[in-house]
C-alpha cells in the first residue's frame, strides 16, 4: 500500500528541513525539485547509480535529467497525486549521498 499525500502540520514539518537544504517546490505541481552539481560526469553518474539502488529498494523512483556534472531532480508520488513520505525519504537520502 502506497502512502497518502502529505498534508497540514505533518507536511510542513517534513518539508522544512528539505527546503532549508536547497530543495524547492515545483511551480507546476505538488513536487520537490533540486539541482545537484558534482565535480565531473563520473561523480554525477556514480551518485545517480547509488540513488538508483536506493530508489529500487524503496520502489520509488525519481524523475531526473543529467547533463555532464549536473543532475536535475523532481520528486513526487504519482499515484498519490503529490508529495508523500517516500519523496521526503528519497530527498533526504539523495542529500546524504551527495555529501
Query: What are the pLDDT digits (tens) for 57-89?
Result: 999 999 999 999 999 999 999 999 999 999 999
Block residue for cell numbers 551527495? 98
pLDDT confidence bin for 37, thresholds 50/70/90: very high
Dihedral of alpha carbons 30, 34, 35, 36, sign: negative
Beta bridge partners, 25, equal 32
24-98 domain in CATH 3.30.1240.10?
Answer: no
Q: Is this model's pTM higher than 0.75 or not?
A: yes
Residue 47 CA, distance from chain mean position? 13
**Extents of the domains making up the chain:** 24-98
Mean pLDDT of the region 8-35:
97
Question: What pLDDT score does 2 carry?
Answer: 77
Amino acid at each position: 500500500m502506497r502512502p497518502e499525500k502529505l498534508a497540514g502540520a505533518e507536511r510542513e514539518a517534513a518539508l522544512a528541513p528539505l527546503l532549508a537544504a536547497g530543495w524547492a517546490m515545483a511551480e507546476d505541481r505538488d513536487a520537490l525539485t533540486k539541482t545537484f552539481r558534482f565535480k565531473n560526469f563520473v561523480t554525477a553518474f556514480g551518485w545517480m547509480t547509488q540513488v538508483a539502488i536506493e530508489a529500487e529498494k524503496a520502489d520509488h523512483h525519481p524523475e531526473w535529467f543529467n547533463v555532464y556534472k549536473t543532475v536535475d531532480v523532481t520528486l513526487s508520488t504519482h499515484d498519490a497525486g503529490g508529495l508523500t513520505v517516500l519523496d521526503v525519504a528519497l530527498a533526504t537520502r539523495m542529500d546524504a549521498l551527495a555529501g
